[in-house]
């Protein structure tokens, strides 16, 4: 059974169909892998009992029939805790399923647990989880990235074939790159946010982490689509995104290489070389390559910080000890109850963001900070739109460096924020991007590159990503010891 650990969803579906293995055996297999490896890795906050998992789904004919997966712990699963890796929601039990959860259950997926993350998805290293650290399976002294560090580490170590994460500024793509797996941040509005605990409502998207692009397209097919429960949901047609995956690039494909990203100052040499090699590969496969410059990139992080903090401050105002989760046990007045609850319940990073958010939203400053940040956002959107008049897709590195040592950036907020330098502009523009493994550093740490498309170009991203993987072997390498 050992070879099942790194089997793709596609292969597992075949095995189930041919009755080489039963649904119960498959479930037990992956639960045992968490049991064996996750004590050290820390990727899951909970793995559920077998009976309750099996009870939630019956449709083994569905697109994900009988295939186990894990959800980041900010996505509601009915009658289960949803903690956001925060003390304030440690015992909060969801009363309903997020729309993505509902769709997964309808298609027969087995949701086996809750994946660890940065508290309220704030961070790039998974070190802000209130409960435990997550380690990178490629080097356990290193961070898996964040905030979806749990989903990325679990998929990379072969503990599970797929996971859902959320991405507000890079939280799926950066950990995917640092752990050597595929991670998509879909078009804003293509996947419902109903039942997903918000960080930055105008930026958040749910997305998929897998080891292959094909598997990614499969899970995306299940979660994408219009949802009347989410007022920002777009009119996305439901379809099977694996149908167009021929292994060939679409004809006359034009790819724009973002020059000021690929050649950015300070980018790690190994990463630069690996991304260049990926571009050459795409050219060999038939793509026409053009150079593009996105001047707004340099301003994206600053604008993101303002927008992210102000939306976070508004969204997290609801955690006040009255409506959800934890309440401080001792207080004399209502105000004291609010203060103590939020002081004890939230970690430092969350408190810092609430403070900054409220500061920039204050009437005196809102014009300086928020209005300017929105202007930058419009500029970024326009630059992407203009670029896509000329090319079908863009290429950038996912990160400027590979996985870093745990503890090395936590006291260096600027360096930590720069983890998202190449990812945040994509959230601000609302366009889709997928990070795909494209090599290793000299220290054997994974490298990823981003394929970016115009709004609703997921199908093209999957086609190109799949063709790239059919012609490369990077995704077939796995960390040792698993
Ligand atoms: N690392 C970024 C941040 O800390 C992105 C987080 C995310 O995408 N959820 O805000």
Contact 415, 409 (CB under 8 A): yes
Domain that holds residue 111: 2-256+390-476
Is 171 catalytic? The answer is yes
Nearest residue (CA) to ligand 1, atom 5 = 169
Catalytic residue among 43, 83, 147, 233: 147
343 found inside a domain: no
Indicate which atom in ligand 1 lies nearest the CA of residue 305: 10
| Cα distance between residue 156 and residue 478, in whole Å | 7
Tokens matching residue 400: 């400027």
Q: How far is the CA of 264 from the centre of ligand 1 (A)?
A: 21
Q: How far is the CA of 470 from the centre of ligand 1 (A)?
A: 31
190 belongs to a structural domain: yes
Q: d(Cα 306, Cα 311) in Å, to the nearest integer? A: 9
Note the pLDDT of residue 1: 58
- Per DSSP, what are the bridge partners of residue 434? 184, 451
pLDDT tens per residue, the chain (482 residues)? 558 999 999 999 999 999 999 999 999 999 999 999 999 999 999 999 999 999 998 789 999 999 999 999 999 999 999 999 999 999 999 999 999 999 999 999 999 999 999 999 999 999 999 999 999 999 999 999 999 999 999 999 999 999 999 999 999 999 999 999 999 999 999 999 999 999 999 999 999 999 999 999 999 999 999 999 999 999 998 999 999 999 999 999 999 999 999 999 889 999 999 999 999 999 999 999 999 999 999 999 999 999 999 999 999 999 999 998 999 999 999 999 999 999 999 999 999 999 999 999 998 888 889 999 999 999 999 999 999 999 999 999 999 999 999 999 988 888 888 899 999 999 999 999 999 999 999 999 999 999 999 999 999 999 999 999 999 999 999 999 99
The length of the chain, given as a count of residues? 482
**Element spanning 46, H or E:** strand 44-47
Query: Of all protein residues, whose CA lies closest to atom 10 belonging to ligand 1?
Result: 122
Name the maximum alpha-carbon separation found in the chain: 70
Please report the atom of ligand 1 found closest to the CA of residue 199: 9
Residue 247 lies in a domain: yes
Cα–Cα distance for residue pair 215/217, rounded to 1 Å: 5
202 is catalytic: no
Q: What is the CATH number of the domain that holds 205?
A: 3.90.1300.10
Pocket residue to mutate for ligand 1, from 73, 118, 184, 309, most atoms within 8 A of Cβ: 118
Please give the distance, rounded to the nearest whole angstrom, from the Cα atom of residue 60 to the centre of ligand 1.
35
> Is 315 inside any structural domain?
no
Backbone torsions φ then ψ of 118, nearest 5 degrees: -70, 145
Token output for 162: 């797929």
Residue 203 phi, psi dihedral angles, 5° rounding = -120, -30
Residue 354 lies in a domain: no
Q: In what order do the strands lie in the sheet with 433-440?
A: 44-47, 110-115, 68-72, 162-167, 205-210, 182-185, 433-440, 446-452, 393-397, 254-258, 288-292
Q: How far is the CA of 170 from the centre of ligand 1 (A)?
A: 6
Q: Which two tokens stand for residue 172?
A: 């799926």
Q: Rounded to whole angstroms, how far apart are CA atoms 59 and 256?
A: 42
Q: Total structural domains in the chain?
A: 1
Q: Which of 171, 221, 233, 435 is catalytic?
A: 171
258, 278, 204, 216: which is closest to 387 by C-alpha?
Answer: 258
What DSSP assignment string belongs to 109-169? -EEEEEE--SGGG--SSSTT-SS----BTTBTTB---SSSHHHHHHHHTTS-SEEEEEESS
Distance of alpha carbon 109 from the chain centroid: 19
- Atom number in ligand 1 closest to CA 172: 8
In a domain, 424, yes or no: yes
Annotated active-site residue in 13, 31, 72, 185: 72
Distance between CA 450 and CA 291 in Å, rounded?
Answer: 15
Q: Looking at residue 186, what DSSP letter applies?
A: P
Burial of 443 from C-beta contacts in 10 A (0-12 / 13-18 / 19+)? exposed
Q: Active site includes 94?
A: no
Question: What is the pLDDT at residue 454?
Answer: 98
Give the atom of ligand 1 at the shortest distance from the alpha carbon of 203: 8
Give, for ligand 1, the residue of 73, 75, 126, 168 to mutate: max count of ligand atoms closer than 8 Å to Cβ: 168
- Asked if residue 173 is part of any domain, the answer here is yes
Q: C-alpha angle with apex 263: 258 to 172, nearest 5 degrees?
A: 60
Cα(124) to centroid(ligand 1), Å: 6
User: What was the pLDDT predicted at 2?
Assistant: 54
Ligand 1 nearest atom to the CA of residue 416, by list position: 1
CA of 42 to the centre of ligand 1 (A): 20
Strands (E), 243-356: 254-258, 288-292
Whether 326 is covered by a domain: the verdict is no
Angle ∠(107,110,115) on CA atoms, nearest 5: 120
In this structure, the residues whose C-beta lies within 6 A of any atom of ligand 1 are 121-124, 147, 167-171, 199, 308, 420
């Amino acid at each position: 059974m050992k070879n099942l650990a790194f089997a793709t969803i596609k292969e597992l579906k075949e095995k189930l169909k041919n009755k080489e293995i039963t649904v119960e055996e498959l479930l037990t297999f992956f639960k045992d892998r968490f049991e064996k490896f996750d004590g050290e890795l820390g990727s899951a906050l909970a793995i559920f009992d077998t009976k309750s998992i099996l009870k939630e789904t019956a449709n083994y004919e569905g697109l994900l029939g009988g295939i186990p997966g894990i959800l980041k712990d900010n996505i509601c699963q009915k009658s289960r805790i949803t903690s956001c890796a925060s003390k304030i929601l440690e015992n909060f039990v969801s009363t309903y399923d997020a729309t993505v959860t509902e769709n997964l259950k309808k298609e027969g997926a087995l949701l086996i647990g809750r994946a660890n993350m940065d508290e309220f998805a704030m961070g790039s290293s998974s070190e802000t989880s209130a409960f435990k650290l997550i380690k990178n399976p490629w080097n356990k002294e290193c961070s898996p990235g964040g905030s979806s560090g749990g989903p990325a580490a679990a998929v990379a170590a072969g503990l599970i074939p797929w996971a859902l994460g959320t991405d507000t500024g890079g939280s799926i793509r950066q950990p995917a790159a640092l752990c050597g797996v595929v991670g998509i941040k879909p078009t804003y509005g293509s996947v419902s946010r109903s039942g997903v605990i918000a960080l930055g409502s105008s930026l958040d998207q749910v997305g998929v982490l897998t080891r292959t692009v094909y598997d990614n397209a499969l899970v995306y097919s299940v979660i994408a689509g219009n949802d009347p429960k989410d007022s920002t949901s777009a009119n996305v047609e439901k379809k099977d995104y694996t149908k167009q995956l021929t292994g060939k690039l679409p004809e006359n494909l034009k790819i724009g290489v973002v020059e000021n990203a690929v050649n950015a100052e300070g980018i790690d040499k190994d990463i630069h070389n690996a991304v260049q090699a990926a571009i050459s590969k795409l050219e060999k496969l038939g793509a026409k390559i053009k150079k593009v410059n996105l001047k707004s990139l340099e301003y994206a992080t600053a604008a993101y910080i303002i927008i992210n903090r102000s939306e976070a401050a508004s969204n997290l105002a609801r955690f006040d000890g009255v409506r959800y989760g934890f309440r401080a046990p001792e207080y004399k007045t209502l105000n004291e109850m609010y203060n103590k609850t939020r002081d004890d319940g939230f970690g430092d990073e969350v408190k810092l963001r609430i403070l900054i958010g409220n500061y920039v939203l204050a009437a005196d400053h809102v014009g300086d900070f928020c209005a300017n940040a929105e202007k930058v956002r419009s500029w970024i959107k326009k630059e992407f739109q203009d670029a896509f008049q000329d090319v079908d897709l863009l290429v950038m590195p996912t990160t400027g460096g590979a996985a870093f040592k745990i503890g090395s950036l936590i006291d260096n907020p600027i360096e930590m924020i720069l983890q998202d330098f190449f990812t945040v502009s994509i959230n601000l523009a609302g366009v889709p991007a997928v990070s795909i493994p494209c090599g290793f550093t000299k220290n054997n740490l994974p490298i990823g590159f981003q394929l970016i498309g115009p709004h609703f170009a997921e199908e093209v991203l999957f086609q190109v990503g799949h063709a790239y993987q059919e012609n490369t072997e990077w995704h077939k390498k796995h960390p040792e010891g698993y």
